[in-house]
Structure 1
Amino acid sequence: MGRGDLTNAEWDRLESFLPRGGARGGRWSDHRRVINGVLYRVRTGVQWRDLPERFGPWETVYKRHRRWSADGTWHMLLSKVQAAEDAAGHIDWDVSVDSTAVRAHQHAAGARKAPPTAAAQRGGPSADESGRSGASETGRPAGGGGQVGECLGRSRGGFTTKIHLAADGRCRPLTVLLTPGHFGDGPQLQPVLEQVSVPRSGVGRPRSRPDHVLADKAYTSRENRRYLRRRGISHTIPERLDQRRHRRNRGSQGGRPTGFDRERYKKRNTVERAINRLKGFRAVATRYEKRAYTYLGTVTVAALIIWLRT
């Protein structure tokens, strides 16, 4: 076993969830070897052609990663691990939300335009690219609903993609969403929280409502606060100075001051630490993929490993 490969304990947790049949009814190549090849590439950021020979043909590893990114298999594995952790009571549902910009490599440019299908509009793959539909086994779009095109944009940092995520109180990503780098943080609070869905081990609907939400001033809009109150989610979000001044100038019509727990807000650093863990994977810290759904799969693999090893 090489450094960074799946341990026996980690493999035992994943093996029962992996698909049994291969493409067109054939047999898959050894799952463990291929997954270790994907992990090596996500951890080091090397080109697919430069994978060590011990992982087998690089084309097999690359195509497996691309297919599982398209059909939602990586997301399914992450959901299964999260469900097991929730059943054991190991998830802290004080959820923090934030984003981070990722510089796109020059190789990320130049993706051919997909046909105007619903999957392509969501940032997912077209049928001729993946061979499968753009929906995951959970019924959610494999490309992460809410995406725009290939999620590449010009921002102050250059050619970038932005990763929006919600993290639990133990610094583990619950859900991930991609947008172009110039998109703002505030409008993405609702799409990120709408994607939080941890299946229950027994009967019942997946858990989707956090106990508490923490976020910085970028998320302090009235629309976001109304959304959280409508869902019955308590929150700790500081108010910007201009909003506070505007409310005071309106007098009694400005409404009551927003509640803010300074001590509880200190816990928001959990999402910063989750981002730091994600960017410890070099293929996450720099985007090399042309297609958004493939890069989302790379980020999901990194999140899966964080859950397995935390």
Structure 2
Amino acid sequence: MARGDLTDSEWAQLEPHLPKNTGRGGRWKKHRQVINGILFRIRTGIPWRDLPGRFGSWQTCYDRHRRWSADGTWERIVRAVQAGADADGRIDWSMVSVDSTVCRAHQHAAGARKQAPRITGKHTRPAQHRPDEALGRSRGGLTTKIHLAGEGGLRPLAMLVTPGQWGDAPQMIPVLDRLRVPRPEGGRPRTRPDHLSGDKAYSSRRNRRYLRRRQIKHTIPERRDQQAHRLRRGSSGGRPTGFDAARYVRRNEVERLINRLKANRAVAMRFDKRAYVFHGTVTVAAVRLWLCA
């Protein structure tokens, strides 16, 4: 076992959730070797062709990562690992925070055709195929933004990738709609945290109505322009929003989570051309964080 490879305890948690070989020819042999190669590439950010020979064929590692990103396998794996952690009481639902981070896109990430890939198979399902490839232009160049919701243990519960110039407030509801932690004993998956925290970027009447409708307590500071608008309207402007400064201190947890994710070079800078492959890259980094818990 080399530096960065899956430990025996991590492999024991991960192996039961991997696809089984149901066809001829041993299609899914050497899962551990291939996944170690995928983790090595995500951690170092090297081109796929430069993977060390101890991981086998670079083409096998790339094809498996691309396929599992396209058909939602990585999504199913991270949810299965989350379900195990929740069953053991290792998810801190007392405070879930939302935030986003911008990732620069390498020149190799540009130029993909704006069409969804064709994925064939009996149980395949597109995970997140975007017609815009989640690339946005700014003065700094091409960027991609990762929106995520993280629990108190510094691990992501839900993620979403968008073009870099997209705002945070409109993406809060799509991120929370992706929060689904299955229950191994059966029943509906858990989709609601006890408390939600976010910075001023998430302060909007739409977001607050959504949280009240779902009965999610929240701590989101009100922006100055929203305060001034409410005061100008007088009694029709409504009551000021509640704000718990003591709870808001815990918002640093999601920022520390982002730092842990971006310790992987292929997450801090996007090298993948297709949005669904980059989303799979971020998901694999999240799986590793759950296995290390």
Q: What TM-score do the two structures reach when normalised by structure 1? A: 0.91
Partners of 2:114 and 2:132 within 8 A in 1: no
In 2, the alpha carbon distance for the partners of 1:14 and 1:264 equals 34
Q: Deviations over 1:100-136 (max 9, x none)?
A: 000000000111232xxxxx3xxxxx21xx4348964
Gaps of 5+ in 1: 115-119, 121-125
In 2, the alpha carbon distance for the partners of 1:2 and 1:90 equals 28
Q: Is the alpha carbon distance of 1:27 and 1:212 closer, same or farther for their aligned partners in structure 2, counting shifts above 3 Å?
A: same
Q: Please, which of 129, 132, 136 is the counterpart of residue 153 of structure 1?
A: 136
Task: Report what 1:38 is aligned to.
Answer: 38
**By how many angstroms is 1:171 displaced?**
1.1
Task: Report what 2:149 is aligned to.
Answer: 166
Partners of 2:199 and 2:221 within 8 A in 1: yes
Q: Over aligned residue pairs, what C-alpha RMSD do you find?
A: 1.6
SS in 1 for 2:17: coil
Q: Is the alpha carbon distance of 1:270 and 1:135 closer, same or farther for their aligned partners in structure 2, counting shifts above 3 Å?
A: farther
1:85 lines up with 2:109 in the alignment = no
1:131 lines up with 2:117 in the alignment = no
Residue identity matched to 2:80: K
Residue identity matched to 1:143: Q
SS in 2 for 1:33: helix
Partners of 2:114 and 2:131 within 8 A in 1: no
Task: Report what 2:106 is aligned to.
Answer: 105
Q: Is the alpha carbon distance of 1:257 and 1:17 closer, same or farther for their aligned partners in structure 2, counting shifts above 3 Å?
A: same
Q: Is the alpha carbon distance of 1:214 and 1:87 closer, same or farther for their aligned partners in structure 2, counting shifts above 3 Å?
A: same
**By how many angstroms is 1:170 displaced?**
1.0
SS in 1 for 2:148: strand
**By how many angstroms is 1:33 displaced?**
0.2
In 2, the alpha carbon distance for the partners of 1:198 and 1:148 equals 28
Partners of 1:134 and 1:143 within 8 A in 2: no
Residue identity matched to 1:297: G
Task: Report what 2:10 is aligned to.
Answer: 10
1:73 lines up with 2:58 in the alignment = no
Partners of 2:114 and 2:133 within 8 A in 1: no
In 2, the alpha carbon distance for the partners of 1:165 and 1:133 equals 30
Q: Please, which of 187, 192, 210 is the counterpart of residue 193 of structure 2?
A: 210
Partners of 1:148 and 1:179 within 8 A in 2: no
Task: Report what 1:143 is aligned to.
Answer: 128
**By how many angstroms is 1:20 displaced?**
1.2
Residue identity matched to 1:80: A
Residue identity matched to 2:289: I
**By how many angstroms is 1:27 displaced?**
2.8
Residue identity matched to 1:291: R
Partners of 1:143 and 1:292 within 8 A in 2: yes
Task: Report what 1:233 is aligned to.
Answer: 216
- Higher mean alpha-carbon deviation, 12-21 vs 57-66, is at 12-21
In 2, the alpha carbon distance for the partners of 1:65 and 1:148 equals 20
In 2, the alpha carbon distance for the partners of 1:173 and 1:290 equals 23
Task: Report what 1:284 is aligned to.
Answer: 267
**By how many angstroms is 1:17 displaced?**
1.3
**By how many angstroms is 1:80 displaced?**
0.9
> Percent of counterpart pairs with the same letter?
64
Partners of 1:148 and 1:180 within 8 A in 2: no
SS in 1 for 2:239: coil
Task: Report what 1:194 is aligned to.
Answer: 177
Residue identity matched to 2:27: R
1:56 lines up with 2:41 in the alignment = no
**By how many angstroms is 1:268 displaced?**
0.7
Task: Report what 2:207 is aligned to.
Answer: 224
Partners of 2:144 and 2:164 within 8 A in 1: yes
Residue identity matched to 2:128: G
